[in-house]
């Protein structure tokens, strides 16, 4: 029990060491998944700090995580403006076209889910004289509740994207169904891998595979994930919103 008048500092340190211990465990699980399957790729851990405060970003940074994922532009901007750490910001949630202007503040946008959105981001990036790295979001299992392209639509979209000179299509993002079996997870992640291959054939760099969350990242890594997006395993359960 903390006594009256005690400095709050030990509490802060204990939060950082808690996150550090969880990050270590996540890294070990990633390394183990790679060893099991011989997966050779470099895997970047993206700490998903949505719903948490800037203290979560600071804790991630303190334990060597430089990639931060947020699912809402406005919430992310609040944190960007509040801290000066040189973290890389990832937008992992659905992006509304009217927020495309702010979205170019992100190092990587994972959620390009329509041609209209691609055009809006391309236009903003052009105005900012910048080539914006983006991922194409694919809805491999075609769940009605999830955004993203059906895999059968990717070939046509890949050609359209070639006209967006201010976008660099560096890969694919997908989300697997919640509570899916291992077999389904593997099918979904392999589907995303195939989409990345299609994008490369169409001339896009597309080497990144953003897939795997707290419940399924080991399978995702075995299937080739290069970016895993981890929230709960690092920061604990989010309050439901
Ligand atoms: C919230 C979120 C995550 C992280 O989910 P956890 O299960 O907490 O690891 C990953 N990706 C996206 C797109 C999210 O919205």
**Helix, strand, or coil here: 214?**
coil
Nearest CA to ligand 1 atom 4: 231
Q: Which atom of ligand 1 has the smallest separation from the CA of 232?
A: 8
233 CA to middle of ligand 1, Å? 10
> In angstroms, what is the C-alpha Rg of the chain?
18
Q: Verify whether ligand 1 is closer than 6 Å to residue 71 (CB atom).
A: yes
Place of tokens 């937008």: 91
Q: Verify whether ligand 1 is closer than 6 Å to residue 92 (CB atom).
A: yes
CA neighbours within 13 Å on the CB side: how many for 33?
22
Q: Verify whether ligand 1 is closer than 6 Å to residue 229 (CB atom).
A: yes
* pLDDT at site 2: 45
Q: Residue range 78-107: average pLDDT?
A: 96
Structure tokens at 183: 């077999």
pLDDT digits (tens, 9 = 90+) for 52-81: 999 999 999 999 999 999 999 999 999 999
Predicted confidence band at 13 (pLDDT cuts at 50, 70, 90)? confident
* pLDDT at site 8: 59
125 CA to middle of ligand 1, Å? 26
pLDDT digits (tens, 9 = 90+) for 204-220: 999 999 999 999 999 99
User: What is the DSSP annotation of 44-84?
Assistant: EEEEE-TTS-HHHHHHHHHTT--EEEES-HHHHHHHHHH--
Residue 1 has pLDDT above 50, yes or no: no
Nearest CA to ligand 1 atom 6: 231
230 CA to middle of ligand 1, Å? 6
Q: What average pLDDT does the structure give for the chain?
A: 94
pLDDT digits (tens, 9 = 90+) for 113-167: 999 999 999 999 999 999 999 999 999 999 998 999 999 999 999 999 999 999 9
Pick from 65, 69, 233, 234 the residue to mutate for probing ligand 1's pocket: most ligand atoms within 8 Å of its CB: 69
């Amino acid at each position: 029990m903390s006594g009256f008048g005690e400095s709050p500092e030990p509490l802060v340190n204990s939060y950082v060491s808690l996150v550090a211990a969880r990050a270590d465990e996540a890294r070990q699980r990633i390394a183990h998944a790679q060893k099991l399957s011989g997966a050779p790729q470099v895997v970047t851990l993206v700490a998903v700090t949505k719903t948490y405060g800037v203290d979560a970003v600071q804790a991630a940074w303190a334990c060597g995580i430089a990639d931060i994922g947020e699912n809402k532009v406005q919430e992310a901007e609040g944190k960007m403006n509040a801290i000066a750490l040189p973290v890389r910001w990832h937008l992992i949630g659905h992006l509304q076209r009217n927020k495309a202007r702010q979205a170019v503040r992100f190092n990587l946008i994972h959620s390009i889910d329509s041609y209209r959105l691609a055009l809006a981001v391309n236009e903003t990036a052009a105005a900012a004289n910048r080539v914006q790295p983006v991922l194409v979001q694919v809805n491999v299992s075609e769940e009605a509740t999830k955004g993203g392209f059906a895999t059968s639509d990717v070939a046509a979209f890949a050609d359209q994207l070639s006209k967006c000179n201010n976008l660099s299509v560096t890969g694919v993002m997908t989300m697997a169904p919640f509570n899916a079996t291992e077999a389904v997870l593997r099918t979904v992640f392999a589907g995303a891998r195939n989409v990345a291959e299609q994008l490369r054939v169409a001339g896009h760099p597309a080497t990144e595979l953003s897939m795997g969350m707290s419940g399924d990242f080991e399978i995702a890594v075995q299937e080739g994930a290069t970016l895993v997006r981890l929230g709960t395993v690092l920061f604990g359960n989010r309050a439901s919103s």
